[in-house]
Amino acid sequence: MQPSPDTSPRPPGRPRDPETEQRILEAALRLLREEGYSRMSVDGVAQEAGVSKPTIYRRWASKADLATAAIRTLQLMEPPVRTGTHKGDLVRTLENFCRSLLRPNGMALIGTVLAEESHTPDLIRLFRERIVAPRRRMLRVLLERARAGGEIRPDADLDCAVNMLVGAFYARYLADSRVPAGFPADLVDIVWRGIANPPPRGSRR
């Protein structure tokens, strides 16, 4: 796993060790999965990773900062999407999303974050900035490319389409905790029919 990029100013001195950051993020992710956010502590992460608390706080300003950086590593593991078609790229992106969601305790991690919304507003804010917003932007860009290519209607509501593409996974998981392998492709087919440009008169599809 690779940590999320950190563009904050760094004081002069010895450069950071990527392996140390990786150990910290892996430890934070394990404790989030096993104990949840409320019981996870920076002390526990430091002990698990074999580092000091100041080592962690030099990299992440708070427990919420560390937790969301750890969850972000799951997205960074996803392979690049290049299928040759806009619709194929959309399906592959959702397949990657599905794999992240269905990793052990993947959905539980999201539940842990949501449960803290009223107690730790910084956690849900960072989660939206680092995990939710980039995912939505990725889908929006793919849809905009398809629209620019004439495959999607100019007046199609792309934000609504993104909501349907993402939200359907949570609805399916909550219904029976399983997401069939063909679900991303079926979902894209359904949404695509609602926003696609109609075929030219007299053509066949």
Whole-Å CA distances, 172 to 77, 159, 180: 24, 20, 9
pLDDT score for 204:
56
Q: Which domains does the chain have, with CATH numbers?
A: 18-62 (1.10.10.60), 78-195 (1.10.357.10)
Euclidean distance between CA atoms 175 and 113, whole angstroms: 20
What share of the chain has pLDDT > 90, as a percent?
Answer: 60
Percentage of residues of the chain with pLDDT beyond 70: 87
**pLDDT tens-digit series, residues 22-40:** 999 999 999 998 888 999 9
Tens digits of per-residue pLDDT, 184-196? Answer: 999 999 999 999 9
pTM: 0.79
For residue 2, the tally of other CB atoms under 10 A from its CB is 12
Task: Give the C-alpha separation, 186 to 189, whole Å.
Answer: 5
Phi-psi region of 97 (alpha: psi -120 to 50; beta: other; left: phi over 0): alpha
Bridge partners (DSSP) listed for residue 152: 196
Give residue 4's pLDDT: 45
CA distances, 181 to each of 143, 178, 185 (Å): 22, 9, 9
Closest by alpha carbon to 123, among 68, 73, 72?
68
Give the pLDDT mean for 188-205. Answer: 82
Q: Which tokens go with 169?
A: 């996974």
- Distance, in Å, from the CA atom of 53 to the CA atom of 113, rounded to the nearest integer, reads 22
